[in-house]
Amino acid sequence: MGRFWLRKRGFWALFLLFCGLFAFSRPQAAVPAEGEALIEAPLVALTFDDGPRRSTTADLLDGLQERGVPATFFLIGEQIEGNEDLIKRMEEEGHQIGIHSYEHRWLTALSAADFARQVDRERQLLYEILGREDFLLRPPYGGVDAAVEKRANTPIVLWSVDPEDWKELDADRVTQRILENVEDGDVILLHDIYPTSVEAALRVVDTLHEKGFLFVTVSELARQKGIELENGKVYRGFRG
């Protein structure tokens, strides 16, 4: 009887140790759902433009899933066909999806009809895949004027940290530029069409996790900072 009790106690000790190690290894603390308590940790939003691209976007989604991190993707409309599964995966894994125009055009130079072909056409494509229309807008090149604000019919999201990852395809430099400038409430701009940007993004996640930061979508970041996003209004970040 004594030996059985010792073996039983040893089994439960090992079981509890395993559970503790599993809990400790979880990559990111759970983010409260809408309506729940606000988060006290510093928060940032990772955003990615110009995708989806099959190879790099899939790799990025894999890395974010491993870390339990949501991001916001501003998609190019003409790259949606053939990548519908990636877009559904983004939705299923808790990422936010936005519009980056159908052909990556300067929206400030367009007539009302051409604006509709660039923005509303993509909105319709996403509706056919996801069954909803509430997508944020990020104009290519950050180009915004009064006409874009009037026609957007959705909040317009730019960024507050830009490492210019498209200019110099160097993961080390991109990572350094972000880490040297990021603060609580920032919106980070990257492009998921470059392998170096995917690598840099995951390095940033790992480093900022060690510093106590958590990652949320753009809309959740705004909510956490007490800001209600308005149609036609431009947001560059949500620092205090």
- All residues at 6 or more sequence positions from 29 whose CB lies less than 8 Å from its CB, including other chains: 41, 214
Q: Domain range spanning residue 53?
A: 41-235
**Per the residue annotation, which of 50, 100, 186, 191 is the catalytic one?**
191
User: What pLDDT was estimated at residue 34?
Assistant: 58
Average pLDDT over residues 7-14: 46
Residue 89 forms part of a structural domain: yes
Confirm whether 100 is a catalytic residue.
no
The answer to whether residue 46 sits within a structural domain is yes
Reference 122, options 109, 107, 111, 108; nearest CA is 107
Average the pLDDT over 29-41 and give the result: 69
- Looking up residue 213, the CATH number of its domain turns out to be 3.20.20.370
Mean pLDDT of the chain: 90
Lowest mean pLDDT among 21-35, 42-56, 149-163, 193-207: 21-35
**Average pLDDT, integer, range 33-60:** 90
Per-residue pLDDT, 29: 60
Query: 28 lies in a domain?
Result: no
Told to judge if 49 belongs to the known catalytic residues of this protein, a careful annotator would answer yes
22 sits in which H/E element: helix 2-24
Asked whether the predicted pLDDT for residue 14 surpasses 60, the reply is no
Q: Tell which residue, 100, 55, 56, 53, has the closest CA to residue 79.
A: 53
Q: Which phi and psi angles does 227 have, rounded to 5°?
A: -115, 125
Say if 23 falls within a structural domain. Answer: no
* 9 against 119, higher pLDDT: 119
Q: How many domains does the chain have?
A: 1
What are 95-107's pLDDT values in tens digits?
999 999 999 999 9
The residue-averaged pLDDT of 75-89 equals 97
Residue 16 within any structural domain of the chain: no
In a domain, 62, yes or no: yes
Q: Would you state the pLDDT for residue 39?
A: 87
Note whether residue 1 is domain-resident.
Answer: no
**Domain assignment present for 184:** yes
Question: What mean pLDDT is predicted for residues 196-218?
Answer: 98
Catalytic residue among 49, 50, 186, 192: 49
